[in-house]
Amino acid sequence: MNNAPDGPLMRFLRFLPVRYCLLALVMYYLHLSGFFFRGAFAHGPWQGLAASVMACAMMLVLYANIVRFTERRPATEVAVQAPAGREFGIGLLLGFGLYTACILVLMLLGNYRIDGVGDWHILLAGLATPLATGVFEELLFRGGVFRLAEEWFGTWAALVISSLVFGFMHYDAEGVTLQGLVSISAWAGLLLAATYLLTRRLWLGIGLHAAWNYTQGTVYSGIVSGNTPPDGFLKSNLQGSEWLTGGAFGVEASLVALAICGGAGLWMLMMAVRRGHIMAPAWKRKG
């Protein structure tokens, strides 16, 4: 490895806020490119999924190369060798299971009702966007905001910073509510950061995030983060108190999601603490 002192340009690129801006710009551009290719060239669900997979691969490759160039280390958090596949698969199961658990509780309380089913092709057509969103947002918020904030301020401050940034980045959604922004900051910010802390990799969070969005919108026809209600596979009816159901923001803003998913996040966080994965602020670390 070249141990020569950095020149002015390299010192600028290695400055933490610059590193984040570089990551954010590249990830955002590639995410938009994925939407463009799906709209321009994908004329069916398989083509749309292929376009999303290509956009995801490009985001992962460029993230890894930006990290290698600016931080002079391999991007182990997105390394594709074992246990990446296992963690991604577990994340998919967790995302499906956690949202389904929320729905089952709401069904038992009489707030959620299934009125029928749609065309099964919806399940295939709905794969592309959740996958791309899961990769993009985990690279940006956990690989970017959380990881870089942790490098300076330590784990606990980074958890607060990344949770608030992640939650309040949804401020422009059509059905946004203060309850929704606070709720998604509290439990989703905690849960997704905890997936990274537990493994020190992004695959568990990518799988969970993608499966949650897919299950919420494509399977159960739920409102995703305050956006327009999708035409999902299960035709459903959700009624009741906004505090209990999440109202116009969707189940993500509900007390049910806060309890179930927040509890899962706390459990993962405690496991991360036991594994010694908590980082002190930069000024308290040796070297």
H or E element: which one contains 236? strand 234-238
187 HSE (CA, 13 A, CB side): 21
Mean pLDDT of the chain: 89
Q: What is the pLDDT of residues 67-112, one digit of tens each?
A: 998 888 999 999 998 899 999 999 999 999 999 999 999 999 999 9
In 3D, which of 194, 195, 173 has the Cα closest to residue 253? Answer: 173
Q: φ, ψ for residue 80 (rounded to 5)?
A: -90, -5
pLDDT above 90 coverage of the chain, percent: 63
Sequence spans of domains, the chain: 80-284
Residue 145: both structure tokens together? 């905001």
- Provide the residue count of the chain: 287
Of 13-17, 19-23, 149-153, the range with the highest mean pLDDT is: 149-153
pLDDT given for residue 25 in this prediction: 80
Residue 114 dihedral angles phi and psi, to the nearest 5°: -95, 125
Check residue 50 and give its pLDDT.
85
Residue 275: the pLDDT is: 96
Q: CA separation (Å) from 147 to 10, 138, 156, 200, 286? A: 20, 11, 11, 10, 19
pLDDT tens by residue, 256-271? 999 999 999 999 999 9
Q: Find the range with the poorest average confidence among 97-106, 186-195, 234-243.
A: 234-243
pLDDT number for residue 28 = 75
Per-residue pLDDT, averaged over 135-151, amounts to 93
- pTM (predicted TM-score): 0.91
Q: What is the Cα–Cα distance from 64 to 152, expressed in whole angstroms?
A: 20
